[in-house]
Structure 1
Amino acid sequence: MKTNFLKVLLLLFSIGLYGQTGHIMQGVGSINMSMGGASTAQPLDISGAMHWNPASISVFNNKIIKFDLGFFSSSPELSSSLPGGLLYQEGDFGPGSPASPPVFGTTKDDRGMSYMPALAMLWGKEGSKHTFGVSAFGISGFGVTFPQETNLPIDMSGNPNMNWNPNNSNPITWPQGLRGFGRIESDYMLLQVSASWAYELTDNLSFGVQPNINYAALELEPNPLASPDFPVSMGGSDRGYPIADNASAIGYGAQFGLFYDTGNGLKLGASYKTVQTFGEFEFDNTYLDGSEAPGVNFQMDYPAIASLGLGYSMKNFDLALDFRRVFYEDTEGFKASGWEIADNGFPTGAVKGFGWQNISILSAGLQYKGINKLPLRIGYTYSSNPIDDDLAFFSAPATAIIKNAYQFGLSYELNTNWRIDAVYHYGTSGDATEGRLLDPMQISASNPLGEIPGTTVSYDMTTSMAMFGINYTFNKKVN
Structure 2
Amino acid sequence: MVFKRSLLAASVAATLIASGAAHATNGYFSHGYGVKSMGMGGGGVALPNDSAMIIATNPAGITETGTQINFDISWFHPVRGYSQTSNSGMFNASAESGSNNFYIPELSASYALNDTSSIGIAIYGNGGMNSDYSGTATSLFGAGNSGAFAAPNSTMTAIYGGGEGGVNLKQMFIAPTYAHKFMDGKLSVGASLLFARQTIQVKGLGAFDNGMYSAAPGYVTGNEVSHSTGWGGKIGVLFHATDAISLAGSYQTKMAMSKFDQYAGLFAEGGKFDIPSTWTIGGAFQVAPAWTLTADFQRINYSSIKSIAGTSTTLGRVKLGSDNGPGFGWSDVNVVKLGAQWQMSPALQLRVGFNHGTNPVGSQDVVFNTLAPGVVKNHYTAGFTYALDQHQELSGAFMYAPDVTVSGPNNAVASYDPSTTTTIHMKQYEATIGYAYKF
TM range (shorter): 0.7 to 0.9
For residue 455 of structure 1, the aligned residue among 396, 405, 420 is: 420
Indicate the residue corresponding to 1:41 in structure 2: 46
285 and 129 in structure 1: CA distance in 2 versus 1, 3 angstrom threshold: closer
Name the SS for the 1:75 alignment partner. Answer: strand
Matches within 5 A, 1:343-362: 348=319, 352-362=326-336
Map Cα deviations across residues 351-407 of structure 1 (whole Å, 9 max, x no partner). Answer: 622221111001111111022301111111101011121112222211133211111
Deviation at 1:136, TM superposition (A): 0.6
Work out whether 1:76 is the aligned partner of 2:84: no
For residue 172 of structure 2, the aligned residue among 191, 194, 199 is: 191
Indicate the residue corresponding to 1:248 in structure 2: 227
Query: Which protein shows a greater Rg?
Result: 1
> Match for 1:70: what amino acid?
S
Indicate the residue corresponding to 1:266 in structure 2: 245
Indicate the residue corresponding to 1:136 in structure 2: 123
| Structure 1: gaps spanning 5 or more residues | 85-100, 157-170, 232-236, 287-292, 443-449, 475-479
Work out whether 1:67 is the aligned partner of 2:67: no
Structure 1: distance between partners of 2:295 and 2:155: 47
Work out whether 1:438 is the aligned partner of 2:411: yes
With the length of structure 2 as denominator, give the TM-score of the two structures: 0.85
Map Cα deviations across residues 400-423 of structure 1 (whole Å, 9 max, x no partner). Answer: 332111111111100010001111
224 and 318 in structure 1: CA distance in 2 versus 1, 3 angstrom threshold: farther
323 and 332 in structure 1: CA distance in 2 versus 1, 3 angstrom threshold: same
For residue 99 of structure 2, the aligned residue among 107, 111, 114 is: 111
332 and 347 in structure 1: CA distance in 2 versus 1, 3 angstrom threshold: closer
Structure 2: distance between partners of 1:368 and 1:211: 34
Name the SS for the 1:55 alignment partner. Answer: helix
Name the SS for the 2:309 alignment partner. Answer: coil
150 and 247 in structure 1: CA distance in 2 versus 1, 3 angstrom threshold: closer
Deviation at 1:135, TM superposition (A): 1.0
Structure 1: distance between partners of 2:256 and 2:153: 36
Q: 131-140 or 329-338, which moves further after superposition? A: 329-338
Name the SS for the 2:35 alignment partner. Answer: helix
> Match for 2:111: what amino acid?
W
Indicate the residue corresponding to 1:50 in structure 2: 55
Structure 2: distance between partners of 1:176 and 1:54: 57
Is the contact between residue 159 and residue 207 of structure 2 (CA under 8 Å) also seen in structure 1?
no
Indicate the residue corresponding to 1:30 in structure 2: 35
Indicate the residue corresponding to 2:108 in structure 1: 120
Structure 2: distance between partners of 1:47 and 1:177: 54
Deviation at 1:227, TM superposition (A): 3.4
Name the SS for the 1:111 alignment partner. Answer: coil
Structure 1: distance between partners of 2:391 and 2:86: 61
Deviation at 1:205, TM superposition (A): 1.1
Work out whether 1:301 is the aligned partner of 2:288: no
RMSD across aligned positions (CA): 3.6
311 and 437 in structure 1: CA distance in 2 versus 1, 3 angstrom threshold: same
Structure 2: distance between partners of 1:187 and 1:154: 24
Q: Runs (4+) of structure 1 moved beyond 6 Å?
A: 3-7, 151-156, 173-176, 339-342
Q: 353-362 or 296-305, which moves further after superposition? A: 296-305
Map Cα deviations across residues 42-69 of structure 1 (whole Å, 9 max, x no partner). Answer: 1114344111111122222x21100000
Work out whether 1:384 is the aligned partner of 2:349: no
Work out whether 1:181 is the aligned partner of 2:163: no
281 and 201 in structure 1: CA distance in 2 versus 1, 3 angstrom threshold: same
459 and 29 in structure 1: CA distance in 2 versus 1, 3 angstrom threshold: same
Indicate the residue corresponding to 2:434 in structure 1: 469
Name the SS for the 2:176 alignment partner. Answer: strand
14 and 142 in structure 1: CA distance in 2 versus 1, 3 angstrom threshold: farther
For residue 376 of structure 2, the aligned residue among 399, 402, 407 is: 402
Name the SS for the 2:22 alignment partner. Answer: coil
Is the contact between residue 228 and residue 348 of structure 1 (CA under 8 Å) also seen in structure 2?
no
Deviation at 1:70, TM superposition (A): 0.7
Work out whether 1:282 is the aligned partner of 2:286: no
For residue 257 of structure 1, the aligned residue among 236, 246, 253 is: 236
Deviation at 1:257, TM superposition (A): 1.2
Taking only the aligned residue pairs, the percentage that are identical comes to 19
Deviation at 1:306, TM superposition (A): 1.3
Map Cα deviations across residues 147-185 of structure 1 (whole Å, 9 max, x no partner). Answer: 2346789988xxxxxxxxxxxxxx9x9999354433322
> Match for 2:410: what amino acid?
L
- Count of matched residue pairs: 416
> Match for 2:281: what amino acid?
L
Matches within 5 A, 1:137-216: 137-149=124-136, 177-182=156-161, 183-203=164-184, 204-216=186-198
243 and 414 in structure 1: CA distance in 2 versus 1, 3 angstrom threshold: same
22 and 242 in structure 1: CA distance in 2 versus 1, 3 angstrom threshold: closer
| Structure 2: gaps spanning 5 or more residues | 1-7, 145-149
